[in-house]
């Protein structure tokens, strides 16, 4: 499990550790990890590696500036030409002395040589969104250089992943002790680039948000035993599609028929199209352990939601059905909106949801008393009790019509198989993203191809 902690949690853990280790230990650990990552990046950028490479440090007044200065000293000792641009009247004295002792120089922006790597040590986890004009000028001066952020990209909201003004866009972020919210939560996560975690020995509490990894998903997946049969593995019912949108029924049942549940029932107007694609789907009402409703439901969505909830079983509500999702239902629900649909559910603008995704996903989960799966580049699964999981699997090609119908079916099959709504939504989202990656192979995907790739993803996980 990848865990991200809040600034307050990190500060407390650092204080506890600093009381037990010699002064400066944490900064030295961080600096060594940072220098190692920069050195590895330089080896990939040029044949000569560290020796002779040009490194520009952008230094603020906080501890991140100290981390960057000490790392710069280590790189200078290995032959790099390291320059530091001080963006504050105060800089870490020990780090600055260490850099100068190894031949590093302090320069102003006009005197700086064109670097191979820029190290962003402007502000750390205590910083606020946005950058001062001098920092913005330094960040944008060398667009061809690789950028390595120290702990977090300067200028982002650390806990929430929000953006408000100019900020660093890093190729690599080297973070210490734990991930922070901005490493997982969009829109800031996209600006963090590849995130590398350096362990500095922090003892941390329960995280702000988490992200499933492959071993977590493998542990949570429902795996049949030797004595299971189709009913004990779970029956998922699908009320999706309409005369206007029969394809939604086909795609939703494709996700539901990916093998994660024992049986799929379909109720709706597109039974012929569903059976043509999936002869194993049973058309007609009957007992189910979970429902999926709303995908392509058009005018029938309201009735579909009403009929599904009447069974009292866990239900996935998608697309057209979201307009009819009840607030405060005692039935376990998974709601699967994209940003526009969530905006309509909460009575806000889509831009507000996209800018503050964590806030709005949590608000919806609380107001609807349901698990909310907010779909996006990094989808968020929020539970009413405040827990949040971030999905980091997937590829941009997954932004295609019909992909959400497949996702709803996958999540519904996991609900029917016995997973909790929170686990079903987050595991289903991860599997769906991984199936898209497998189906893409670097190129376009179709929703049908994503559904067809789910069994291969599961096989690889269980292997």
Rounded distance between C-alpha atoms, residue 358 and residue 367, angstroms: 14
DSSP string covering 219-281: HHS----TT--TTTT-EEEEE---SS-HHHHHHHHHHHTSSSSSEEEE-STTHHHHHHH-TTS
Given the DSSP bridges, would you call strands 371-374 and 146-150 parallel, antiparallel or unpaired? unpaired
Binding residues for K(+): 64, 120, 154
For residues 316 and 405, the answer to whether their CB atoms sit within 8 Å is no
* Phi, psi angles (nearest 5°) of residue 286: 175, 180
Q: Specify burial of residue 321 (Cβ count, 10 A radius: 0-12, 13-18, 19+).
A: buried
Q: Residues comprising the binding site for (6S)-NADPHX?
A: 63-67, 124-130, 151, 248, 296, 338, 405
**Continuous segment of H or E residues that includes residue 350:** helix 350-355
> Where is the binding site for AMP, in residues?
375-379, 404
Q: Which residues are annotated as a binding site?
A: 63-67, 120, 124-130, 151, 154, 248, 296, 338, 375-379, 404-405
By DSSP bridging, strand 380-382 and strand 388-390 are antiparallel
Q: Where in 61-190 does DSSP place strands (E)?
A: 81-86, 105-106, 117-121, 146-150, 172-176, 179-180
CB atoms within 10 A of CB 23: 7
User: Which of 231, 419, 229, 428 lies closest to 314, judged by CA?
Assistant: 419
The answer to whether the beta carbons of residues 297 and 317 sit under 8 Å apart is: no
In angstroms and rounded to an integer, the radius of gyration of the C-alpha atoms of the chain is 25
Distance CA 151, CA 128 (A): 14
């Amino acid at each position: 499990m990848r865990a991200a902690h809040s600034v307050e949690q990190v500060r407390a853990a650092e204080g506890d550790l600093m009381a037990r280790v010699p002064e400066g230990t944490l900064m030295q650990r961080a600096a060594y990890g940072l220098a190692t990552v920069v050195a590895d990046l330089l080896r990939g950028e040029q044949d000569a590696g560290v020796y002779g490479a040009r490194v520009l440090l952008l230094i603020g007044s906080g501890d991140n500036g100290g981390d960057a200065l000490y790392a710069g000293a280590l790189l200078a000792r290995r032959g790099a030409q390291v320059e530091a641009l001080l963006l504050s009247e105060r800089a870490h004295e020990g780090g600055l002395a260490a850099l100068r002792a190894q031949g590093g120089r302090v320069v102003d922006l006009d005197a700086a040589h064109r670097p191979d790597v820029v190290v962003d040590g402007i502000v750390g986890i205590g910083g606020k969104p946005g950058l001062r004009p001098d920092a913005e000028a330094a960040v944008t001066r060398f667009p061809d250089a690789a950028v390595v952020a120290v702990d977090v990209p300067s200028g982002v909201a650390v806990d929430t992943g929000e953006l408000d003004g100019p900020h660093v866009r890093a190729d690599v972020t080297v973070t210490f002790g734990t991930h922070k919210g901005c490493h997982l939560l969009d829109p800031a996560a996209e600006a963090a680039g590849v995130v590398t975690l350096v362990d500095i020995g922090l003892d941390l509490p329960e995280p702000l948000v988490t992200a499933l990894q492959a071993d977590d998903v493998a542990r949570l997946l429902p795996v049949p035993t030797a004595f299971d049969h189709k009913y004990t593995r779970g029956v998922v019912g699908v009320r999706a599609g309409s005369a206007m949108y029969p394809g939604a029924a086909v795609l939703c049942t494709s996700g539901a028929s990916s093998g994660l549940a024992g049986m799929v029932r379909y109720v709706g107007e597109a039974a012929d199209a569903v059976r043509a694609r999936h002869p194993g789907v049973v058309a007609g009402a009957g007992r189910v352990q979970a429902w999926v409703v709303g995908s392509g439901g058009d005018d029938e969505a309201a009735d579909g939601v009403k009929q599904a909830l009447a069974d009292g079983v866990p239900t996935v509500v998608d697309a057209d059905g979201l307009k009819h999702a009840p607030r405060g239902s005692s039935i376990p629900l998974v709601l699967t909106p994209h940003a526009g649909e969530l905006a309509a559910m909460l009575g806000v603008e889509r831009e507000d949801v996209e800018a503050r995704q964590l806030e709005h996903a949590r608000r919806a989960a609380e107001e609807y008393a349901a698990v909310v799966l907010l779909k996006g580049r990094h989808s968020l699964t929020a539970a009413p009790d405040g827990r949040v999981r971030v999905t980091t699997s997937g590829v941009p090609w997954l932004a295609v019509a019909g992909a959400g119908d497949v996702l709803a079916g996958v999540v519904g099959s996991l609900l029917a198989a016995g997973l909790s709504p929170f686990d079903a939504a987050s595991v289903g989202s991860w599997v769906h993203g991984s199936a898209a990656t497998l189906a893409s192979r670097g190129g376009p995907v179709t929703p049908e191809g994503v559904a067809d790739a789910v069994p291969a993803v599961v096989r690889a996980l269980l292997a």
